Each structure stands twice: as structure tokens, then as C-alpha cells.
Amino acid sequence: ARAYAVMLLALIVFSAGIVGNLALVCIVSHNYYLKSTWNCALASLAFWDFMLLFFCLPVVIFNELTKRRLMGDLSCRIVPYVEVTSLGVTTFTLCALSIDRFHAVTSVQPRLQQVESCQSILAKLSVIWVGSLVLATPELLMWRLEQEVSPRTGLPVDSCGQQPSVTLPETLYSLVLTYHQARMWWTFGCFFCLPLLFTGACQLLTRHVTDENAKSKAKQRRERQLTRTVVALASIYAVCSLPENVWNFVLAYAGVEVGVATKALLALIGQFLLFVRAAATPVLLLCICRSLGQAFMDCCCCCCDECLPDPSSSSMSSSTNATAISSSLSSPVSVQEEKVKIVSGTSPAVFFDNVKDGPAELIIGTPC
């Protein structure tokens, strides 16, 4: 029964997370007017959540069901590394979004409403990614595969233990050992307290500045929407990270003795909470952010229209072709001018100003 429950929960989390994160990445990457630092930071978070679910969740489920480890010692090092890197990406993304909100509100001059260059966006995202990857590097050196025989079944059981290898150089071994001893406090301070306190402080300052400055209702509505997005991301991150931090401190300082099976179960629950957060984040963003949600619905409608052609399209197309042929015979010059107008379109700057200042329904992007 436990195996079926684990498989069902993993299937739901995996399906929702893969579809949601891929949808969010595709929406931002295929829509020219959504390529801002804000949306690209959300897409970067979605991409790393996709990597977490795609590579780590199957390995964890396979180990839970078979008590064997896919790829052996390599997975014992890679899975914790990806998980801690995901925590770092989420932490720094929340801080970056909070800074962006505070800078937008406190800026004296209005920000130019233009699509940022790819170099500018990549430079900002590289800080988040490189910092997260570097901070998670000790995880590669701290974990290793441990094998033991189960007394109940007599079969070998694989597990991953936190034990630095003695074959490391002395300086590196001492650094990894220090990280191992301070890992609980480091994870709690850097990956839990820092994003929540930083986000809370920026939100309070932003609200204080917003209350003092009188702005239009449309701009106030947009700022409230962005504020709700940051608060929702921080809230779901706190809810999914708090239980693991709580029982880590209880087991370390409360003197509570638990068995090996209980520790393994708590570790599995902590990993599942991490996977749930990675799967719920894109769904939350698509529901809260009107621009992303509208772009997702437009893409779904576009795909449905392609899969289900209209029966009357043939008759309409025939009549349209007949009209076009007759008009081309009567006035070939006007046809050429109309083609030029259709191909050239309206100036992107005009569309962009309308998109930025208007509702989410005006968002224009590349076809699905």
C-alpha cells in the first residue's frame, strides 16, 4: 500500500511539475514582449525546477521502491547537489525579485518600457546560477554510497551517507568536514531565513514608499499584482521548507532518539516537499500573473484550433480566395501595397507601449 501511495503521489507531482515548468519556460522564451528580467528570472526558476523533477524524482522513487540506487555513488552525489542548487536558485531569485520591486517603486525617473537585451538578462541570471552552483559544491564531496544487508530480507540495501572521503587532500577534507558540521545551520540561515527576511523587509519598504507616492490606479493594480507574486512565492517556499528545518533542530538539540527507518522516512518527506514546491510554483505563477496566464491560455487555444479544424473553413477559404483573385485582377497595385502592410505590420514600439500599459489581453508574441 505504501509503494502504491508513493507511486501515485510521485506521478501527480512529476506530471504537474514537468508540464507547468515547461509551459512557463516556453511562454517566456517564445513571447518577445515577455522577455524582461522579471519574467526571465521566473523562467530560470522554472527551468531549474524542471531539472530537479526530471533527474532527481525518478532516482528517489526508484531507491524507495527497490532499495537500490540508480547510478550508484554518482547519484548519491548528484541528487543532493541538484537539490541544494535548487534551494540556492530559489533563494537568490526571491531576493532579485524583491530588489527589482523595490527599485521600481523608489526610482525617481520612470523606467523605459523596452525589451531588455539578451546579454543584460543573461548577465543577471548568471549571478543567480553561478552563485547557487558554487555554494552547493561541497555536496559533491560530502555524500557517498553505503551498502548493507537487510536483516529481514537478506538482500543488499543502498543508502547515501554524509561522510567525507578520507582520500581528499587535507585542506579540502577539513573544509568539507567543517561544512558537514555546520550544514544544518548553514541551510537554515542561507536557504530559509535569508530569502524570507529579505523578501519581508523589501515588501515592507515597498509598501511604505507606495503609500506615500500617489500613482494611477492602473499602475497601482499592476504593482499589487507583482507584490502578490513575490509574497506567494515566498509563502510556498516557506511552507515546504519549514518542516524539514524543524525536525532537523528537534533531532539535533531536543534529545529525541529515533530509529534508522524513521530518519529515512523524514528524509523522504523532506525531498517530497521539495518536489511539491517545484511542481506547485509554476501552477501558482500561471494563476497569479495575468500576463503569463493569458499567454498560456492563448497557446492552449492555439493548439486546440490546430487540432480541431473548423468544418466551415474550407468554404470560407474558397470564398476568400475568389475575392482575392477578383480584387487582384481589378487592382494589382493595391494588392502589393496590402501585402507590404501585412508583412511590415505596426511598429514594435507602439505595440510594446500598449502591452506594458494595457491589460494582459494585449500581449503579443510569436505563434504557438
Residue range 50-77, pLDDT digits in tens = 999 999 999 999 999 888 888 888 999 9
Of 178, 176, 192, nearest to 242 by C-alpha is: 192
Q: What distance in Å separates the CA atoms of residue 295 and residue 23, rounded to the nearest whole number?
A: 10
The structural domains of the chain, with segments of one domain joined by +, span: 2-148+155-299
Q: Report which residue type is found at 92.
A: F
Dihedral sign computed on CA atoms, order 155, 156, 160, 163: positive
pLDDT on residue 22:
94
> At residue 214, does pLDDT exceed 60?
no
Cα angle 22-23-29, degrees, rounded to a multiple of 5: 90
Cβ atoms of 157 and 67 within 8 Å: the answer is yes
pLDDT on residue 310:
54
Average pLDDT on 207-227 reads 73
Q: What distance in Å separates the CA atoms of residue 282 and residue 232, rounded to the nearest whole number?
A: 11
> At residue 347, does pLDDT exceed 70?
no
Of 194, 36, 8, 200, nearest to 115 by C-alpha is: 36
> At residue 162, does pLDDT exceed 90?
no
How big is the chain, counted in residues? 368
Cα angle 223-225-231, degrees, rounded to a multiple of 5: 105
- Higher confidence at residue 234 or residue 362? 234
pLDDT on residue 23:
93
pLDDT on residue 358:
40
pTM of the model: 0.79
Question: Does the domain spanning 2-148+155-299 belong to CATH 1.20.1070.10?
Answer: yes
Confidence tier at 150 by pLDDT (50, 70, 90): confident
> At residue 335, does pLDDT exceed 50?
no
Query: Which residues in the chain belong to E strands, given as ranges?
Result: 143-149, 156-162
Dihedral sign computed on CA atoms, order 284, 290, 303, 35: negative
pLDDT on residue 299:
72
Confidence tier at 36 by pLDDT (50, 70, 90): confident
Confidence tier at 216 by pLDDT (50, 70, 90): low
Of 97, 334, 348, 47, nearest to 228 by C-alpha is: 97
pLDDT on residue 259:
84
> b/e per residue, 18-53, with b = 16+ CB within 10 A?
bebbebbbbbbbebebbbbbbbbbbbbbbbbbbbbb
Percent of the chain with pLDDT over 70: 76
> At residue 153, does pLDDT exceed 90?
no
Q: How many CA atoms lie within 13 A of 67 on its CB side?
A: 12
Q: Report which residue type is found at 281.
A: T
Residue range 177-188, pLDDT digits in tens = 999 999 999 999
- Higher confidence at residue 5 or residue 353? 5
pLDDT on residue 163:
84
